[in-house]
């Protein structure tokens, strides 16, 4: 009794093929849907702030003061904006690892593993060529990081394509494998004997590190992230390859019937998706840590999954969502320092925000007022 895949997918096909087809409708100003796209997110922020405000008030803190300091610590000053942007950089790259394969209809959550493997490969390569010029080192590291992360996620695609292994589960399991490989590597094969109490690889020389811009804390990671997001968006929405990807995502049977090379397209897409967190791993090593060690595994990957869904799989929206989330992460500390709330408070707030945003997805198109055809 095998359920017929096409049949099970049926109601969605129409919607998705429509979305995948090139834009052809009249270009009139559709203010109602634009308004919807503003009102719903604003409403989400308000609702989650009220929920969190109640929670904070129950703990005996003043919600208004808490929000004021959170604003100060995330977007209030140039100093805090820098913090926010630095936090946002790895998130965008990690988000792409989920966002791009979602276009194929694959839910990949191997972001953390791809980041770790990318960082590890980049370190290994960077150490090999550390006597070359700084820019050579950077290019080699970036290339190997992307290669490592890309192959890692491509493996997920291969397993899916040729063995039918569920990509969500295999990529989740591969996160654990990647972290184990990292720990084993920095504790044995790659270990710098001088890294005494925190086993690490040999360091990349200081002068070969990615330098921040001027006096700021902002480094190349942010630039890489924004460029990668733009490229991904262009690839998916403006190229033939992207059209193939979206067609496969809409209906794999139709795509096969149309003669699309489903296998290669899937593998290339997975590679490009994995290369993004691989690059994030390289940036972590080359701009921040200077060596590979367990700190590479810092939950950027899992947060990236959420960014991808919150951005509704749109690579450009990933930039925006990452900055907002970066601000949220950067404002966590001030709750402890200024308001003496427990360290878990910010986690509760994140949970509330994520749940509300996810719920808000279902609100689009639900209100009559925002429908163009009723106007």
Backbone angles phi, psi at 53, to 5 degrees: -60, -45
- With respect to another protein, which residue has the nearer C-beta, 19 or 238? 19
- With respect to another protein, which residue has the nearer C-beta, 67 or 231? 67
For 356, the enclosing helix (H) or strand (E) is helix 345-361
How near is the Cβ of 176 to another protein at its closest, in Å? 4
> For the CA atoms of the chain, what is the radius of gyration?
22
How near is the Cβ of 239 to another protein at its closest, in Å? 26
Read off the tokens for 313.
């799989």
How near is the Cβ of 297 to another protein at its closest, in Å? 9
- With respect to another protein, which residue has the nearer C-beta, 26 or 163? 163
Q: Burial, 129: exposed, middle or buried (Cβ in 10 Å; 0-12, 13-18, 19+)?
A: middle
Q: Which residue, chain included where needed, has tokens 């292994």?
A: 165
DSSP label at 73? I
- With respect to another protein, which residue has the nearer C-beta, 247 or 266? 266
- With respect to another protein, which residue has the nearer C-beta, 315 or 329? 329
How near is the Cβ of 26 to another protein at its closest, in Å? 25
Please report, to the nearest 10 degrees, the dihedral formed by the alpha carbons of residues 360, 362, 363, 366 taken in order. 180
Residues contacting 100, CB < 8 A, separation 6+ = 232, 236, 269, 272, 273, 276, 315
- With respect to another protein, which residue has the nearer C-beta, 179 or 260? 179
How near is the Cβ of 111 to another protein at its closest, in Å? 11
Query: Rounded to an integer, what is the distance from CA 43 to the centroid of its chain?
Result: 24
DSSP label at 216? S
How near is the Cβ of 83 to another protein at its closest, in Å? 5
């Amino acid at each position: 009794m095998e359920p017929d895949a096409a049949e099970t997918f049926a109601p969605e096909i129409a919607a998705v093929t429509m979305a995948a087809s090139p834009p052809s409708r009249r270009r009139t100003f559709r203010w109602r849907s634009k308004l919807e796209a503003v009102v719903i997110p604003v409403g989400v922020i308000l609702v989650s702030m009220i929920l969190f405000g109640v929670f904070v008030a129950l703990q005996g803190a003043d919600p208004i003061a808490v929000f004021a300091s959170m604003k100060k610590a995330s977007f209030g000053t140039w100093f805090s904006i820098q913090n926010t942007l630095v936090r946002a950089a790895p998130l965008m790259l990690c988000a792409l690892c989920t966002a791009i394969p979602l276009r194929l209809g694959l839910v990949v959550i191997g972001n953390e593993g791809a980041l770790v493997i990318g960082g590890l490969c980049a370190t290994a390569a960077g150490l090999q060529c550390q006597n070359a010029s700084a820019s050579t080192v950077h290019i080699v590291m970036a290339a190997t990081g992307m290669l490592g992360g890309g192959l890692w996620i491509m493996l997920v695609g291969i397993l899916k394509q040729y063995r039918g292994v569920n990509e969500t589960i295999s990529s989740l399991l591969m996160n654990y494998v990647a972290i184990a490989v990292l720990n084993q590597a920095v504790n044995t094969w790659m270990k710098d004997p001088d890294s005494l109490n925190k086993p690490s690889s040999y360091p990349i020389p200081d002068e070969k590190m990615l330098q921040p811009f001027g006096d700021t804390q902002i480094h190349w990671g942010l630039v890489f992230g924004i460029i990668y997001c733009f490229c991904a968006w262009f690839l998916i929405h403006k190229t033939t390859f992207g059209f193939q990807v979206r067609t496969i995502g809409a209906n794999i049977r139709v795509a096969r019937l149309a003669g699309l090379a489903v296998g290669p397209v899937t593998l290339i897409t997975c590679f490009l998706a994995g290369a993004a967190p691989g690059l994030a791993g390289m940036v972590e090593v080359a701009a921040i840590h200077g060596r590979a060690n367990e700190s590479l595994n810092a939950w950027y990957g899992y947060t990236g999954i959420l960014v991808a869904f919150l951005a509704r799989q749109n690579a450009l929206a990933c930039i925006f969502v990452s900055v907002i989330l970066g601000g949220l992460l950067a404002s966590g500390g001030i709750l402890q320092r200024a308001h003496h709330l427990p360290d878990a408070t910010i986690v509760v707030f994140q949970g509330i925000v994520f749940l509300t945003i996810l719920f808000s997805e279902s609100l689009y198109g639900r209100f009559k007022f925002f429908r163009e055809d009723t106007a």
